[in-house]
Structure 1
Amino acid sequence: MDTLGAPAPEDAVVLFDGASLENWTKMDGASAEWSIADGAMQVVPGTGDICTKQLFRDHYLHLEFKLSDMPEASGQAKSNSGVFLQGRYEIQVLDSSGWNVPGLGDCGAIYDQYAPLTNACKPPLVWQTYDVVFRAPRCEGKVLKEHARMTVLHNGVVVQNNVQLPGVTGAPSDTNVQRPGALRLQDHGNIVWYRNIWAVHLPPEGSSEYDPA
């Protein structure tokens, strides 16, 4: 089921409401410099990645994105951006529309770790959705016991199914997986738009509130 335009539930943390970047900073803590128009934030190439002030462990994430039309570009230069869970695990954003066999760097991939199960990418200038269930790594003290896991739905289609992440992906904000981390959106030099971004904190296993269904 496609979730385009899905409203944030009551227990959600609204990270972008279409009007302000007050919940975001640059990676060095300075004010985010992306632009806002028509209820969407736009990557301003060269201004750098932005990340949320809010930190997350286990959570459900919803966001919507729109790719720019770059018919003259190809490969990784074609409307490239990325969504980093905890600032460490990248879900690729790229114009991969029309490609038959998506790879490790295509839209819906967990960058350089898992290709999407299928190509669910829509054409440029059409709004798309990511819905993500993220389970943070499990540590005892400084000892890693379980790697992170992630399920990704792209436009309502499962493209990553509870995959285990053997480590952080390229260009992480940090590598200390014991700590919670921010959601980070990538400036890869191309114009991409984002809107309707919200997350729900999920309780860990063992909680009386936890329902894996």
Structure 2
Amino acid sequence: MNVLSLLALAALQQSPYLPPDPKAKQPKPVPPPPGAIVLFSGKTEEMSANWRKFGSTTDADWGVVKGAMVSQKGNIVSKQEFTDFLLHVEFKVPYVPEGKGQGRGNSGVGLQSWYEIQVLDSSGLKIPGTGDCGAVYNQAAPLVNACKPPLSWQTYDIIFRAPRFVDGKLTEKARVTVLQNGILVQNNTEIQGATGIRGDRPIDKPGPIYLQDHHNPTEFRQIWIVPLPTESSKSYDPK
């Protein structure tokens, strides 16, 4: 082994990040429950049917490889818009050993295209920050680091409560609960306002799901959403 190889190996060993685990068993996609709207399940035709380019009416053109869409050619958003919902997203970040911070598999899941849940290779970090995977970007760090190593399929289950407005005035801020790989990383977190992304619709209206292209080939598969009522029934029948 030459000197350059030894230096590269030493740098890798000192890195807090985890390398890929080639022996790890990849989980199967989580099937959608009854009543869910499937936005992507691995079919190429779902890209044009359910997704458009951000800020445009043109169909999204991310590539689909082995049943996964790969981030490229700009951000995309769903053609359908939502208020309150349960969102399931499965993602895989690339292995970028030379990258640091935001340069390691950067992407994001945008709620109503205004509020970003960060996607990043933050594996191995003891104390994740507001820019790490599972964070409400730049606002709320994940409670714990629930990341798997890069090149592993991971899951987000996101329960989102949209902000409330009365006569155009904000009365309640948005809230979000996030489970990453089945581990709670955001617990009914109040979102203070728009994060790093910006929507292409009014902030007081229903909005799309946003997937970010941050110049890293992040993969997504099995994306489904269950719209939720904005309030429950107030009736009571003791019988």
Instruction: Normalising by structure 2, report the TM-score.
Output: 0.83
Q: Alignment partner of 2:80: what SS?
A: strand
Q: Distance in 1 between matches of 2:195 and 2:30?
A: 28
2:69 partner amino acid: M
Q: Secondary structure at the match of 1:55?
A: coil
| Corresponding residue to 1:93 among 113, 119, 122 | 119
Matched, 1:117 2:143: yes
CA-CA distance at 1:175 after TM superposition = 7.1
Give the match for residue 86 of structure 2: 60
Kept in 1, the 8 Å contact 2:95–2:150? The answer is yes
More displaced, 198-207 or 90-99? 198-207
1:160 aligns to what? Answer: 186
Q: Is the 8 A contact 2:53 2:60 kept in 1?
A: yes
Partner of 2:211: 185
Letter in 2 for 1:25: R
**Could you give the per-residue CA deviations for residues 44-92 of structure 1, whole angstroms, max 9, x where no partner exists?**
2xx1100000000000000100011111111101100000000000000
Cα distance in structure 2, aligned partners of 1:40 and 1:175: 27
Do the aligned partners of 2:159 and 2:177 also contact (CA within 8 Å) in 1?
yes
Partner of 1:39: 67
In structure 2, distance between residues paired with 1:29 and 1:142? 26
Deviates more, 1:13-22 or 1:108-117: 13-22
1:30 equivalenced with 2:58 (yes/no): yes
1:46-85 superposed matches below 5 A = 47-85=73-111
Tell me how far 1:173 sits from its aligned partner. Answer: 1.4
Q: Could you say which structure has the higher strand fraction? A: 1
Structure 1 moving runs of 4+ over 6 Å: none
CA distance in 2, matches of 1:202, 1:186: 24
RCO higher in 1 or 2 (8 Å CA, sep ≥ 6)?
Answer: 1
After superposition, what is the alpha-carbon deviation per residue over 1:155-202, rounded to whole angstroms, capped at 9, x for unaligned? 000000001111111121147321000000000010100000000000
Q: Quick check: which one's helix share is greater?
A: 2
For 1:50 and 1:10, the matched residues in 2 are separated by: 26
Equivalent residues of 1:81, 1:92 under 8 A apart: yes
Cα 1:188–1:100, aligned 2, differ >3 Å: closer, same or farther? same
Identity among equivalent pairs (%): 52
Q: How does 1:146-157 map to 2 (within 5 A)?
A: 146-157=172-183
Q: Is the 8 A contact 2:201 2:207 kept in 1?
A: no
Larger Rg: 2
Residue aligned with 1:54, SS: coil
TM-score (norm 1): 0.93
The letter of the residue matching 2:111 is L
CA shift digits 1:99-145 (9 cap, x unpaired): 11000000000000000000011111100000000001111120111
State the alpha-carbon separation in 1 of the partners of residues 142 and 133 from structure 2: 8
For residues 42 and 57 of structure 2, what CA distance do their matches in structure 1 show?
Answer: 21
CA positional deviation for 1:39:
1.1
For the aligned residue pairs, the C-alpha RMSD in angstroms reads 1.5
Distance 1:157 1:15 in 2: 23
